[in-house]
Amino acid sequence: IFHLFLHTRKKMGLLLLLVICQCAINSIKTHIVSKPNIILLMADDLGIGDLGCYGNRTLRTPNIDRLAEEGVTLTQHIAASPLCTPSRAAFLTGRYPIRSGMAAFSRVGVFLFSASSGGLPSDEITFSKLLKQKGYATALIGKWHLGMNCESTDDFCHHPLSHGFDYFYGLPVTNFRDCKPGQGSVFLKGAQKHLVIPIQITGIALVSLAIVQYIGLLKVPLQALGYFLLIITVSLVVLIFFFSHFRHLNCFLMRDYQIIQQPLSYENLTQRLTKEAMQFIERNTDTPFLLVLSYLHVHTALYASENFKGKSKHGLYGDAVEEMDWSVGQVLDVLEKYNLSDKCLVYFTSDQGAHVEEISGAGEVHGGYNGIYKGGKSTNWEGGIRVPGLLRWPGVVQAGAHIDEPTSNMDIFPTIVKLADTQLPSDRIIDGHDLLPLLQGKVTRSKHEFLFHYCNAYLNAVRWHPGNSESVWKVFFFTPNFSPEGSNGCYDSHVCFCHGGFITQHDPPLLFDLSRDPEEKVPLTPETESRFHEILRVVHQAVDNHTRTLHAAPNQLSWNNLLWKPWLQLCCSSLFQSCYCDYESGGSPLQVHLG
């Protein structure tokens, strides 16, 4: 009887242990599929070499580094574009921006004005739309840069609230040098370069017409001459008005559909964005939420609050990075305060690499550091597209893991859509892939065998990671012409461009193996790589297959959609009152600036 009792107790113990294990497994499974909270943190123009967790030893980023320690560090995380607007479009939709018309065929690849008519098309499906349909509270705080209106000042066809966000607090366009007095202008140099000669030609033509009219060599109808002069005068007046009021017209802060500060004030701006993010979390502790906190840091104009100004070892740029890190820490702290850390996936990245050409008027470096990688923002060299990729979800993703497989910012779309227990759209191609199996260590290979790198709407390069190899081949069809020659960027033009005399075409294409040459220093040749022609053949076939999946989409970045349209201008007072108001600082809604 005694032996029978021991045997029975042993079986019961084993059974109890199995039940406990099964409960634990079920608990983890339930945790994964029970609509976790999602926080997506996106920096602007941050270099991969600016963070401690990616090797920086002089900038202090303990809170961002904490995400790496408690989560996964992606070491080959790729932005879908090296420019703000197309990269963010790809991030929100999980699709190459060429598919949605968010890639330019002209020189300008981003939106420059709040009163442009282009933007993320309303028929594009964003992850925020899908999560909102599943009961998530959704908010975008910070930079948008994906358009505002189409035909009138109140249609808000491209507004964040038209793309699945319940709440918006931030900038409709971006942070320009022109937005901050004393920081110079992005536009004046280009305007002077492209307008001076046409104005001179027009002036010479008018004087010549007047002379030939006076001496009788040619009879020009005075009415036609008057109309021509009127058109020129009106055009000049509009241009002068626009550039003299650029800050008021394009640099303003909105809450939902209302302008609350015009022009934008940089005073405690990061604190305000952070406070809005924390309050959104606090309002939704009992509701699944999606928060996209899109920092203005570290796009120029650089700024930092008094608590951070002059505290870093890298001037104002370093101050801005360290202030952003503080903000990340505040968000993580509020998650802990409400016991939400284990119920929340947190992702940190940058929209593209550091803008290496950013030098202040005083000669101070205002661009970031891309580590060992070549080039920067606006190029598809690794420095322009290899960005930080950090994901933390305690108990679900591996802690302290490093993954060197190719991944993309487009992967966030399918990853969080699946976590929200909803289906991917079946009527369109989604180029991203679910990251969770990779993050949990269930698989060791990325699903991205090929990644296509576009410079605006032009296919610039292709990355190939064969399934049976550790190599990561990268093929360039053209490369930007750095200026001055031998430098690491296009300093003469402030950014690199994608066509014409700004690039060099390569036939055969340049070939690199990033697994051996991540700095892209030495192109391979048939003499140094025996599989040279075979690799190019495979890549060309992949390009053909990819191209066949593309369908024409309205060009949202055409000149017509990029140009400033006065009838679309948002203004909290009136154009003749300099578009001034300040709700943020306690100003009256009717307060206007008459000076």
- The larger pLDDT score, comparing residue 520 to residue 181, is at 520
Q: Which of 7, 53, 77, 84 is catalytic?
A: 84
Q: Cβ neighbours of residue 390 under 8 Å, at least 6 residues apart?
A: 53, 64, 67, 68, 71, 72, 73, 74, 346, 347, 348, 349
Q: Which two tokens stand for residue 406?
A: 């190719």
The structural domains of the chain, with segments of one domain joined by +, span 37-175+253-446+557-568, 187-244
pLDDT for 2 beyond 50 = no
Q: List, in sequence order, the alpha helices (H) in 121-259.
A: 127-133, 187-215, 222-244, 246-250
Residue 417 burial by Cβ neighbours in a 10 Å radius (0-12, 13-18, 19+): buried
Q: How distant, in Å, are the alpha carbons of 234, 238, 250 from that of 575?
A: 16, 12, 12
pLDDT of amino acid 293: 98
Q: How confident is the model at residue 528 (pLDDT cuts 50, 70, 90)?
A: very high
pLDDT for 188 beyond 80 = no
Q: Which two tokens stand for residue 153?
A: 């000042």
The answer to whether 84 is a known catalytic residue is: yes
Q: Which of 145, 158, 355, 433 is catalytic?
A: 145
Q: How does pLDDT run across 441-465, given as a tens digit for each residue?
A: 999 999 999 999 999 999 999 999 9
pLDDT for 574 beyond 60 = yes
Distance between CA atoms of residues 142 and 277, nearest Å = 9
Q: How does pLDDT run across 90-103, given as a tens digit for each residue?
A: 999 999 999 999 99
Task: Mean pLDDT check: name the lowest of 14-23, 44-53, 214-223, 250-259.
Answer: 14-23
Residue 91 burial by Cβ neighbours in a 10 Å radius (0-12, 13-18, 19+): buried
pLDDT of amino acid 363: 87
pLDDT for 140 beyond 80 = yes
Q: How confident is the model at residue 4 (pLDDT cuts 50, 70, 90)?
A: very low
What is the pLDDT of the chain when averaged over all its residues? 90
Task: Mean pLDDT check: name the lowest of 84-93, 217-226, 552-561.
Answer: 217-226
Percent of the chain scored above 90 by pLDDT?
Answer: 79
pLDDT for 1 beyond 80 = no
Question: β-pairing, 458-464 with 473-480?
Answer: antiparallel
Distance between CA atoms of residues 174 and 45, nearest Å = 12
pLDDT of amino acid 31: 45
DSSP state of 424: P
Fold of the CATH domain 187-244: Helix Hairpins (1.10.287)
- Strand, helix or coil at 543? helix
pLDDT for 554 beyond 50 = yes
pLDDT of amino acid 17: 46
Q: Cβ neighbours of residue 34 under 8 Å, at least 6 residues apart?
A: none
Closest to 189 (Cα-Cα) out of 361, 440, 447, 20: 361
Task: Mean pLDDT check: name the lowest of 91-95, 210-214, 399-403.
Answer: 210-214
Closest to 408 (Cα-Cα) out of 41, 86, 78, 82: 78
Q: Which two tokens stand for residue 92?
A: 């929100």
Q: How confident is the model at residue 351 (pLDDT cuts 50, 70, 90)?
A: very high
**CB-side exposure of 562: number of CA atoms within 13 Å?**
17
Q: How confident is the model at residue 5 (pLDDT cuts 50, 70, 90)?
A: very low
Q: What is the CATH number of domain 37-175+253-446+557-568?
A: 3.40.720.10
